[in-house]
Structure 1
Amino acid sequence: MSSSHEHPDPLRALSLDRLRRRTSAKWRTYPPDVLPLWVAEMDVPLPEPVARVLTEAVALGDTGYATGAGYAEALAWFARERWQWDGVAVDRTAVVADVMRGVVEVLRLVTGPGDAVVLTPPVYPPFHAFVAHEGRRVVAAPLDGAGRLDAGALEAAFREAVAGGRRAALLLSSPHNPTGTVHTRPELTAVAELARRYGVRVVADEVHAPLVLPGAGFVPYLSVQGAEDAFSVVSASKAWNLAGLKAALVVAGPEAAGELRRTPSEASHGPSHLGVLAHTAALRHAGDWLDALLGGLDANRRLLGDLLARHLPEVGYRRPEGGYLVWLDCRAAGLGDDPAAAFLERGRVALTSGPPFGAGGAGHVRLNLATSPDVLREAVRRMARTVGRERGAPSGAQSG
């Protein structure tokens, strides 16, 4: 893929006034005086190749049902180009509405009601909710103190999950939401070895995979030794800001292909035709835009570290290796188990509350840094006022 020198940082492209005209959840959940740094939407314009394919489809009235293998073929191409991985076989994929619907369909294939699904908290709250809604039990294998997978905790959880001969699965967030941890090949190989030993089936949510930042490298779970019976669920939604254009792919390892073929036909009824077109165009043609975005996110994670060190030194910050979500440890700031409530009420900054992420969530917040540097600066100023480090009422933010 070519370099991004011709492409400006998309995080700097839109003013705050223009962003506030948006009608999505990020911008309409809270009053206009609140800076929204919560849900996983980015403050970016649509990549031109994606806008073009959507505009052409609308002009043609091409708004029917999704079909074809174009999305899977684009992912296979992207995986070769970006990750030097040739493991996406189109005949071992299925198009689904979104990542969580894909996860649910796979969990239905490999577990039954009452079976256990292992989670690695703190982790994306819908993991807990969807697993419970499907009548499965959550068994926790918490991350270690460095925010990484803990082999000992995983083994204990696997042993509990399969007790009595029950089927079990591990739902793995990779890269990890909310910590931004990018799992290494040795870490993932250890997971695969344990999963094989205990008969646990792995389902990897890899929606943040294209967003791995400089200094880390994404390892597709299906590329590691021992993961041949696993599943991955992937989408272009996070990396190109396409959450409102529903589409995702389930990818099966070679030993899981037969199970994937047993997915009921109704599972394929959810994806949007426009979503499939948009995601395909993003993977195929918006690599330069992605490179420019990654440069902006890299700069923002450094900026956030500097701002916190200067204005909020009591907040613990571990720089994310991937994605644009940051896990902040606010336990020393005196804001209780749910600091997000205080930051919203007193600072007028909307962050994602920590406790719903499970074990390790209390006293934490998740911050979305996919915004302009100016908004990031103003958000940290407001957060600092919330904990009483700076006097004065929050002022209006300006976006570059």
Structure 2
Amino acid sequence: MTEDASSACHPTAWEHRTDPLVRLSLDQLRRRTSMKWRTYPQDVLPLWVAEMDVPLAEPVTRAVRDALAIGDTGYPHGTAYAEALAAFAADRWGWEGPGIENMALVPDVMMGVVEMLRLVTGPGDAVVVCSPVYPPFYAFVAHDARQVVEAPLGPDLRMDLGALEDAFVRARRHGRRAAFLMSSPHNPTGVVHTRQELEAVAELARRHGVRVVSDEIHAPLVLSGAAFTPFLSVPGSENGFALTSASKAWNLAGLKAALAMAGPEAAADLRRMPEEVGHGPSHLGIIAHTAAFREGGDWLDELLTGLDANRALLGRLVAEQLPEVRCLPPQGTFLAWLDCTGLALHDDRPLDGPGVVSDLAGPARMFRDEARVALSSGHVFGTGGAGCVRLNFATSPAILCQALTAMGRAVRERGRAPRR
């Protein structure tokens, strides 16, 4: 194998694929005007923000097109979205859900998270997170005058129940109310929590008087070898909340709409949510998300097949091109967490800290500047993130190969450069 090539990157390795990840060329993708494709210059391959490089599922396109054709662009109404999610959950996860009456429309998952936290905590109260974790968990919580308390993941990147209990104790000091904001599946590591882990979380939260808010936006994106368990389906979760949408699994982030769900003991809390919150979702967004959950299953299955193939390809490429980098295969999402501390790059951590995504540090900065590949910088994911990067592998195998080859070349060229 040459240092810039891999047999895995020969087009014959994926020419048989027909999944959504192989249907758009780089030229077609560069016509997009979204954040992923316009933040960096044209010579940078963007593998950072959680947008997928796929065409829309035909049922979604058809539903939005039909609505536009008759001018159906007014205000949201009805429970079709909740009904579609309930049917999807029953079919995919064997879960009957909390009931339509215990679901509510919210503008998107993170705005829904804020509203759920407002129901069970107040200014100055604590919100526990398992770091490294999705940066807006820090930003949205802090902007709403709550204090973030970290419970770092274990060395295996799974929740450390001992650290979580310690964080619950700290969060509840001085009689404060507290919530646990959980990422399930976990972003950025791609870990899918087991039923046993979630039952343990529910038991700990009950014992310490902590309310759980589970962000399940990546729930449909569980890859082969793992199974998703909705938090509200486990014993002890009856006073918890969960939020989800079709935005990640069907690439609908620009069509805003999400659902908040409450366990039976939290239903009264959910009814206290201000009525105007439900005005925030886009009517077209609701139509799109409803169509995705109701009719987008075949497209999703094709996507998951492609993500499985890309996960395997990424593993081979990291081993060949970046042998000093540690990458545990993600069980879900389309995100991979690369521990680059073995590259011994100086981590120029910006002063702004977790949750602030305006800058890059350490390996992410080097890969952008020297490989022309944009990744998410690990330091913004909180404790445990410095020296790491998050890579979005929901792209074509050709782009994935081009990016990892460039990253490997940049590391090798650094190794050959004279020491200063």
How far 1:333 moved relative to its partner?
A: 1.1
| Dislocated runs of 4+, deviation >6 Å | none
Contact preservation (8 Å) 2:123, 2:145 = yes
1:366 is matched with which residue: 365, 376, 390? Answer: 390
Return 5+ residue gaps in structure 2 as ranges.
1-16, 348-361
Distance across 2 between alignment mates of 1:187 and 1:165: 27
CA offset digits 1:331-362 (Å, max 9, x no partner): 11132322111100111000001001000000
Distance across 2 between alignment mates of 1:191 and 1:111: 19
Distance across 2 between alignment mates of 1:269 and 1:383: 45
The count of aligned residue pairs is 386
How far 1:389 moved relative to its partner?
A: 5.4
Return 5+ residue gaps in structure 1 as ranges.
1-6, 393-400
Distance across 1 between alignment mates of 2:321 and 2:48: 20
Distance across 2 between alignment mates of 1:149 and 1:223: 19
Q: Paired residue for 1:319?
A: 329
Distance across 1 between alignment mates of 2:43 and 2:173: 52
Alpha-carbon RMSD across the aligned residues, in angstroms, is 1.2
How far 1:391 moved relative to its partner?
A: 10
1:282 is matched with which residue: 285, 292, 295? Answer: 292
Q: Paired residue for 1:25?
A: 35
Q: If the length of structure 1 is used for normalisation, what is the TM-score? A: 0.95
Equivalent pairs: percent with the same residue? 66
Contact preservation (8 Å) 1:120, 1:149 = yes
How far 1:165 moved relative to its partner?
A: 1.4
Contact preservation (8 Å) 1:384, 1:390 = no
Q: Paired residue for 2:134?
A: 124
Q: Paired residue for 2:76?
A: 66
Contact preservation (8 Å) 1:196, 1:226 = yes
Contact preservation (8 Å) 2:238, 2:263 = yes
Contact preservation (8 Å) 2:98, 2:264 = no
1:87 is matched with which residue: 86, 90, 97? Answer: 97
Q: Which secondary structure state, in structure 2, belongs to the residue aligned with residue 228 of structure 1?
A: coil
Contact preservation (8 Å) 1:94, 1:251 = yes
Distance across 2 between alignment mates of 1:88 and 1:22: 38
What code does the residue aligned with 1:194 have?
A: L
Pairing 1:387–2:411 present: yes
Distance across 1 between alignment mates of 2:415 and 2:172: 55
Q: Paired residue for 1:396?
A: none
CA offset digits 1:64-86 (Å, max 9, x no partner): 11111000000000000000001
What code does the residue aligned with 1:369 have?
A: F
What code does the residue aligned with 1:78 have?
A: F
Contact preservation (8 Å) 1:385, 1:391 = no
Distance across 1 between alignment mates of 2:124 and 2:307: 41
Distance across 2 between alignment mates of 1:73 and 1:8: 31
How far 1:265 moved relative to its partner?
A: 1.1
Q: Which secondary structure state, in structure 1, belongs to the residue aligned with residue 179 of structure 2?
A: strand
2:378 is matched with which residue: 354, 359, 363? Answer: 354
Q: Which secondary structure state, in structure 1, belongs to the residue aligned with residue 278 of structure 2?
A: helix
2:192 is matched with which residue: 174, 178, 182? Answer: 182
1:341 is matched with which residue: 357, 365, 368? Answer: 365
Distance across 2 between alignment mates of 1:187 and 1:150: 10
Contact preservation (8 Å) 2:217, 2:247 = yes
Q: If the length of structure 2 is used for normalisation, what is the TM-score? A: 0.91
Q: Which secondary structure state, in structure 2, belongs to the residue aligned with residue 283 of structure 1?
A: helix
